[in-house]
Amino acid sequence: MKIGLKNFHNAVINKLQRRKKGIFMKKIFFTLLILSAFFACQNNRETFTIKGVVENAQGKTIILEHIGLAETVALDSMVISKNGKFSFNANRPDYPDFYRLRIQNRLVFFVVDSTETITVNANFENFSTEYSIKNSPQSELIQKLRISVINIQNKVNALNEITNQDEQTAKTAEIEQMLEQHRMMARELILENPRSNVAYFALYQTINGFYIFSPFVSEDFRYWAAVATSYHAFMPNNERSQNLYDFVMEALQERRLLQQQDVWNELIETEGRDYIDIILPNRRGVEQRLSDLRGKVILIDFSAYEIAGSIDYTFALRDLHTKYNHRGFEIFQISLDRNRLFWENSVEAIPWIAVRDETGTFAQRYNISQIPTTFLMDREMNIVARDLTFGELDREIDRLLRR
């Protein structure tokens, strides 16, 4: 049977179109299958669920909130049904983090660290305290810490209403005992797992706005340091890790300054004067004593010639020395330069007393945390000012020399 050329051409076209359509449909099906699997995987990997029942809360709005470092953000809300049920799904955080459920001013805090399903059951009347929480052990421990602090805070608030002195004393002793029991519980939880959300939460609890564990108190600092170190080691990119690290470093710096101040006070008391004598060699190896300058107005200058801006700084010192030296003013300069040869060349033509604190001993004893640092002394060797500007130094030196 012969087929005309036109009919043959149409048959081929129809066959190709059917084949192309079949391939296209297969591609669509395969693509949809992949996308479906992808989104299913994404949902399983990236979301958590918080659900439960709140009795006596019918018609009330419950809100899911994320507690960030800078602010608390509402993620979702719903009206509680007749049977008291609620349920939220939300994206899990990159790092374990804090969330809360809120009904009016009643709060339930919990922690999310993966894709878990957390269940909360409570009654509206005591929603903040007597709730049960399942599938989140850390959230249960945080509940214990919160309830403990709430009870202490309530006792503190009631104390203001007591006028009887004996009763006040008794209640204060009770609060102190409760506070120590709380601290014992918190210390155990912190040391048990310092990189947990529970440890972090315990550190930031307060009574009347004051930290129960203060990083500025020696006894408490070790707990802050333990948590900060663990967070920094295991979650270096977590913003809470960086914030905690910065806070602890600030406290550490302040503690060191206080310790140095204690050493300063002790040395002053031991030496029986309002300053610590400095005895160091000049560039020729000859010892220079600060105490030999008694009767002069003295500028003690801790600085270094190797730092930026030292040339302008030196010229400003030279102007002061030239202006007041003939009236009884002297500069006692302690250099902290690391390179001895560089320092010797730099001070070769300096007209005032220039020595070098090679070991940093006197810089430490004078509590030096930055350079340049200056101290102005009167004729009786009393330190009267620290770190004045050059304009202030000019006026104050003139005033002291007139006395």
In a domain, 216, yes or no: yes
CATH number at residue 331: 3.40.30.10
Higher-pLDDT residue of 252, 54: 54
Structure tokens at 150: 């709430």
Report pLDDT for 263: 56
Residue 256 predicted with pLDDT over 80: no
pLDDT of residue 11: 52
Do 391 and 313 lie in one domain? The reply is: yes
CA distance 179 to 103: 29
Boundary-marking domain end, from 205, 238, 263: 263
pLDDT surpasses 60 at 40 = no
User: What are the Cα distances from residue 115, in Å, to 96, 139, 147, 236?
Assistant: 11, 15, 27, 22
Asked whether residue 297 is domain-assigned, the answer is: yes
Domain count, the chain: 3
228 located within any domain: yes
Range of the domain at 217: 159-263
Give the CATH number for residue 56. 2.60.40.10
Find the largest Cα–Cα distance for the chain.
134
What is the model's pLDDT at position 77?
96
398 versus 262: which is more confidently predicted? 398
Q: What is the CA radius of gyration of the chain?
A: 36
Rounded distance between C-alpha atoms, residue 79 and residue 61, angstroms: 4
Measured CA distances, 60 to 133, 147, 229, 275, 362 (Å): 20, 24, 43, 69, 68
- What separation in angstroms does the CA of 15 have from each of 1, 24, 112, 282, 302? 20, 14, 57, 103, 94
* 35 lies in some domain: no
User: Based on the domain organization, do 393 and 326 belong to the same domain?
Assistant: yes
pLDDT > 50? residue 16? no
pLDDT digits (tens, 9 = 90+) for 51-77: 999 999 999 999 999 999 889 999 999
Give yes or no: residues 118 and 233 share one domain: no
177-183's contacts with Cβ under 8 Å and 24+ in sequence apart are 178/148, 178/151, 178/152, 179/152, 179/207, 179/212, 181/148, 182/145, 182/148, 182/149, 182/152, 182/212, 183/212, 183/213
- Domain-embedded: residue 336: yes
State whether 304 and 259 are in the same domain.
Answer: no
Q: What is the pLDDT of residue 45?
A: 53
Of 136, 250, 149, 152, the residue nearest 197 (C-alpha)? 136
Look at residue 367 and tell me if it is in a domain: yes
Please indicate, yes or no, whether residues 117 and 91 belong to a single structural domain of this protein: yes
Q: How far apart are CA 193 and CA 271, in angstroms?
A: 47
- Whether the full predicted model's pTM is greater than 0.75, yes or no, is no
129 within some domain: yes
Residue 289 phi, psi dihedral angles, 5° rounding: -115, 130
Do 288 and 243 fall into the same domain? no
Nearest 5°: phi and psi at 10?
Answer: -65, -40
pLDDT digits 0-9 by tens, 29-39: 444 444 444 44
pLDDT digits (tens, 9 = 90+) for 283-338: 999 999 999 999 999 999 999 999 888 999 999 999 999 999 999 999 999 999 98
